[in-house]
Structure 1
Amino acid sequence: MNIDQAVMALAGTLVLLSPWWLLLPAFVGANLLQASITGLCPAAVALRRLGVSAGCALR
């Protein structure tokens, strides 16, 4: 699994399992939107530090 797949899996899991049905999914969506514009994704940075291999979108 590379970083691209791990970020999508993490975002999907947080949205599906969130007890805060509106707050956390809104935060995840806003984070994904800003990552698509700026290219900086905090989740990708954290996953890279944990040793997940780089993907083609989030390097």
Structure 2
Amino acid sequence: MTVDRAVLAFAGVMVLISVLLTAFVSPMFIWFTVLIALNMFQSAFTGFCPAAMVFRKLGLKGSTTARA
């Protein structure tokens, strides 16, 4: 698994967890979903992703696609 795919999987799991928490625990957990979305948005523009740094330190390989 590459870092890119691990980050996508992690983001998906976090969104699902936050939606479940919102539905079954407290509506205030919607802010957790908003935080995840803001992190994904800023990462798309800045390239800075804390989760990607953690996955690289855990030994996952970088992206297999060439970047221009």
The two structures share one fold, judged by TM-score above 0.5: yes
Please list, as runs of the form range in 1=range in 2, the aligned pairs for 1:1-59 lying within 5 A after superposition: 1-18=1-18, 19-20=21-22, 21-55=29-63, 56=65
Q: Which whole-Å CA distance do the structure 2 matches of 1:49 and 1:8 have between them?
A: 17
Q: What TM-score, normalized to structure 1? A: 0.84
Runs of 4+ in 1 over 6 A off after TM superposition: none
Give percent identity, aligned residues only: 39
Letter in 1 for 2:13: T
Aligned residues: 57
Name the counterpart of 2:26: none
Give ranges in structure 1 of 5+ residues lacking alignment. none
Greater share of helix: 2
Q: Which whole-Å CA distance do the structure 2 matches of 1:3 and 1:12 have between them?
A: 14
Choose 1 or 2 for highest CA Rg. Answer: 2
Q: Cα RMSD (Å) of the superposition?
A: 1.6
Q: What TM-score, normalized to structure 2? A: 0.74
Give ranges in structure 2 of 5+ residues lacking alignment. 23-28
